[in-house]
Copies of this chain bind each other. A is one copy, B any other.
């Protein structure tokens, strides 16, 4: 290709080789490269896909955040409640209360995990009964049951069934209240919430994967020309699917980053707002019912994990889809 021979002048009046036709002014050298990857970055499907992935990630993060908050609150309540159990000793005529209290404490203290047993004094018991019996109650005038507060070590789970048996056998009139109803209720509630949240989360991930498959197929269809041309110039399927994979990993990362960031910002704002409004009575009510809106660090951490997961999921899903389709194309009989 070294001979830059000039074509002989044509006989017709139209002819002049185009290569030298227009007299052009000297210009700045322009970049040879478009800066584009081989699969066009800005295609229709891309924007839509980033959007979908963004929204899905955002909602997945919201779900995760909500589950995490419920979990934290529930754990706190559960912990508060289950760190104490109560022994009630109902007064019988022939019962010597002081001895009964001593017996009951001794029994309770035998169990491992029980760190302390305190008998509520009269004032405390009176306060408990105030709503029913009014203020200024003289307890010793009344056959009111006495309460023992049994404090448990953190996380300990003594054998309440055995404790109850022993108490009932040895201290007549005593009952053990391990708040099982409350604990059960809270556990159920937390589990339900976590279950619902996880289901929603999984649904979203499934939807994301489906969307990515659809979008990849769409992108492949939209870039069929590109794939064809790449084929004809001798690219192998690894090269081609590599191009698409790169493309989709970037798309996934972009979308997921937008979504997760959005969710994180939302939670930060909610946190600030709720801590500023917690001073009001309404805020109190809300925080009593729902816990605070401030997400724990692990919540944010999990959102980052979701981000990465979504990006990887996008890349992997699209990679599988692309490879399958490219192999179909690669096949001689198409």
By a beta-carbon cutoff of 8 Å, the part of chain A in contact with chain B is: 43-45, 47-49, 51-52, 55-56, 59, 90-91, 128-129, 132-134, 142-145, 184-185, 188-189, 192, 207, 210-211, 214-215, 218-219, 221-222, 281-282, 285-286, 288-290
Residues of chain B within 8 A of A49, CB atoms compared: 48
Cβ contacts A to B, 10 pairs, < 8 Å: A44-B44, A44-B221, A48-B214, A51-B214, A55-B207, A132-B144, A133-B143, A184-B281, A188-B285, A192-B286
The docked-state distance in angstroms from the alpha carbon of A66 to that of B45 is: 32
Q: Within the assembled complex, what's the spacing in Å between the Cα atoms of A251 and B133? A: 68
- Tell me which residues across on chain B come within 8 A of A286, comparing CB atoms: 188-189, 192
Q: A48-B48, A55-B56, A185-B289 provided; 18 other pairs, C-beta below 8 A?
A: A44-B44, A47-B214, A47-B215, A47-B218, A48-B214, A48-B215, A52-B52, A52-B55, A55-B207, A55-B211, A90-B134, A91-B134, A133-B142, A188-B282, A189-B285, A189-B289, A192-B286, A192-B290
B44 near A218 (CB under 8 angstroms)?
Answer: yes
Using Cβ atoms and an 8 Å threshold, which residues of chain B touch A285?
184-185, 188-189
Residues of B within 8 A of A48 (CB): 45, 48-49, 52, 211, 214-215, 218
C-alpha spacing A308/B286, complex, angstroms = 34
Q: Nearest-CB distance from A23 to chain B (Å)?
A: 27
Q: How far is the CB of A266 from chain B (nearest CB, A)?
A: 9
**Distance between Cα atoms of A207 and B143 in the complex (Å):** 65
Instruction: Check A44 against B47 for contact (C-beta < 8 Å).
Output: no
